[in-house]
């Protein structure tokens, strides 16, 4: 499919079904809405699957709290991973319910990783699975905290099992499943290894030689799902290579933007990020000496914590880290657009959707 088929209708009407009929103009108009609609569809598929698995296997007294906690987490997800994978599928194939289910399985990998991080990392403002399970356990077990931590880890393992099952049972033929299976397994391994990675860089460690690459700037959170979907669809190797380059660039831009947005929280919590690592890389010898004298984490007393944050903010300002990162983001997004430009046969819908995702980062 070359994406040149015309949709016979008024551009103000509802978007066409599937990909047949999407022109670049209609795709550009409707891609943002399509992204939201597809995320909702993937979420519904995932919730149905998890509900069925829970009904079949989580039969212990009170186990419904686990099902409810997982369902609540899924309901809050933006479904970015599965959407990217489905865009990889659409690079060659038309819309498919079975492909939507197969790509939605990747969300269970992401969910497993997020759940299993909880015992080591708590984010503010979100109770999370562990907190919900611990609350339930307070009136029922002797050590609710221990139960909550253990149940959270086990539930993460269960999500990994469910991810594989949903992928295999999505309804696609083995001729499509088999080529994508190695990428699925690599994504699963990457997410598990990412937990160890996050533990290592959970605190600021000036004694360590830091770099943006070390803390995950190049982690293929976008490239992996795009490659998975493209392999599932049977894309040509050349198309898969370009989509991988596009995904790496988009993933790096997303990570840089996310860390910029989270910088105030990361500083308060003493957590490493690409922004802070780059400030270290950009610093001259005197600033490096000052960084090495800073405490590893903010001190307990509020006044000293604020001083600590101000010192880091001064380092960020002196090194012009924020402006440099904005330049890096712009460069990565330009690379995304270049990659899309060298894929003339990429259908209009995935092309427009990837442009929308890039624009959101900008």
Give 163's pLDDT tier (boundaries 50, 70, 90): very high
CA distance 158 to 189: 15
Task: Look at residue 216 and tell me whether its pLDDT is greater than 80.
Answer: no
Tokens 């369902």 map to which residue? 71
Question: For 97-146, how does the pLDDT look when each residue is reduced to its tens digit (9 = 90+)?
Answer: 999 999 999 999 988 888 876 554 544 444 567 777 777 777 777 787 78
d(CA 273, CA 340): 29
Euclidean distance between CA atoms 191 and 201, whole angstroms:
15
User: For 8-17, 82-91, 319-328, which range has the lowest pLDDT when averaged over its residues?
Assistant: 8-17
Q: Is pLDDT above 60 for 3? A: no
> Cα torsion for 90, 94, 100, 101, to the nearest 10°?
-130
pTM, full prediction: 0.84
Q: Judge whether 181 and 189 are in contact, CB under 8 Å.
A: no
Predicted pLDDT at 46: 95
Average pLDDT over the chain, rounded to whole?
Answer: 81
Q: What is the mean pLDDT of residues 21-28?
A: 76
Residue predicted with more confidence, 164 or 284: 164
Give the Cβ contact number of residue 31 at 10 Å: 21
Average pLDDT of 18-34? 78
Question: Does residue 214 register a pLDDT over 60?
Answer: no
**What mean pLDDT is predicted for residues 199-203?**
60
Say whether 344 sits in a helix, a strand or coil: coil
Distance, in Å, from the CA atom of 258 to the CA atom of 316, rounded to the nearest integer, reads 16
Asked if residue 206 has pLDDT above 50, the reply is no
Q: Specify whether the CB–CB gap between 109 and 191 falls below 8 A.
A: yes
Whether the pLDDT of residue 337 is over 50: the answer is yes
Mean pLDDT across 208-220: 50
The pLDDT value recorded for residue 189 is 87
pLDDT for the residue numbered 182: 95
Q: Helix (H, G, I), strand (E, B), or coil: what is residue 305? A: helix
* Contact call for residues 354 and 87 (beta carbons, < 8 A): yes
What percent of the chain is modeled with pLDDT above 70?
A: 79
- Burial string for 252-277 (b: 16+ CB within 10 Å, else e) reads bbbbbbebbeebeebbebbbbbbbbb
Could you report the per-residue pLDDT of 287-309, keeping only the tens digit for each? Answer: 877 776 665 555 545 566 777 78
């Amino acid at each position: 499919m070359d994406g040149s088929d015309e949709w016979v209708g008024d551009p103000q009407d509802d978007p066409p079904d599937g990909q047949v009929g999407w022109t670049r103009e209609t795709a550009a108009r409707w891609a943002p809405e399509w992204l939201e609609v597809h995320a909702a569809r993937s979420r519904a598929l995932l919730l149905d699957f998890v509900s069925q698995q829970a009904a079949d296997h989580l039969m212990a007294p009170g186990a419904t709290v686990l099902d409810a906690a997982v369902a609540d987490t899924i309901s809050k997800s933006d479904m970015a991973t599965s959407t990217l994978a489905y865009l990889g599928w659409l690079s060659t194939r038309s819309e498919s319910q079975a492909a939507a289910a197969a790509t939605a399985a990747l969300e269970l990998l992401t969910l497993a990783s997020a759940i299993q991080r909880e015992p080591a990392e708590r984010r503010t403002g979100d109770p999370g699975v562990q907190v919900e399970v611990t609350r339930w356990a307070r009136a029922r077990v002797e050590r609710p905290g221990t139960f909550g931590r253990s149940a959270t880890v086990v539930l993460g393992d269960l999500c990994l099992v469910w991810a594989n099952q949903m992928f295999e049972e999505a309804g696609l033929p083995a001729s499509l499943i088999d080529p994508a299976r190695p990428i699925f397994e690599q994504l699963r391994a990457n997410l598990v290894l990412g937990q160890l990675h996050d533990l290592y860089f959970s605190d600021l460690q000036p004694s360590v030689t830091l770099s943006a690459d070390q803390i995950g700037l190049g982690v293929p959170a976008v490239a992996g799902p795009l490659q998975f979907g493209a392999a599932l669809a049977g894309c040509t190797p050349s198309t898969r290579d370009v989509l991988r380059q596009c995904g790496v660039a988009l993933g790096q831009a997303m990570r840089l933007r996310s860390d910029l947005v989270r910088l105030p929280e990361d500083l308060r919590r003493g957590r490493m990020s690409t922004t802070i690592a780059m400030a270290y890389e950009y610093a001259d010898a005197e600033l490096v000496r000052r960084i090495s004298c800073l405490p590893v984490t903010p001190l307990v007393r509020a006044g000293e914590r604020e001083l600590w944050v101000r010192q880091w903010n001064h380092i960020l300002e002196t090194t012009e880290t924020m402006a440099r990162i904005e330049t890096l983001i712009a460069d990565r997004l330009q690379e995304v657009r270049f990659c899309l430009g060298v894929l003339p046969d990429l259908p209009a819908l995935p092309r427009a959707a990837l442009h929308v995702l890039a624009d959101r980062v900008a």
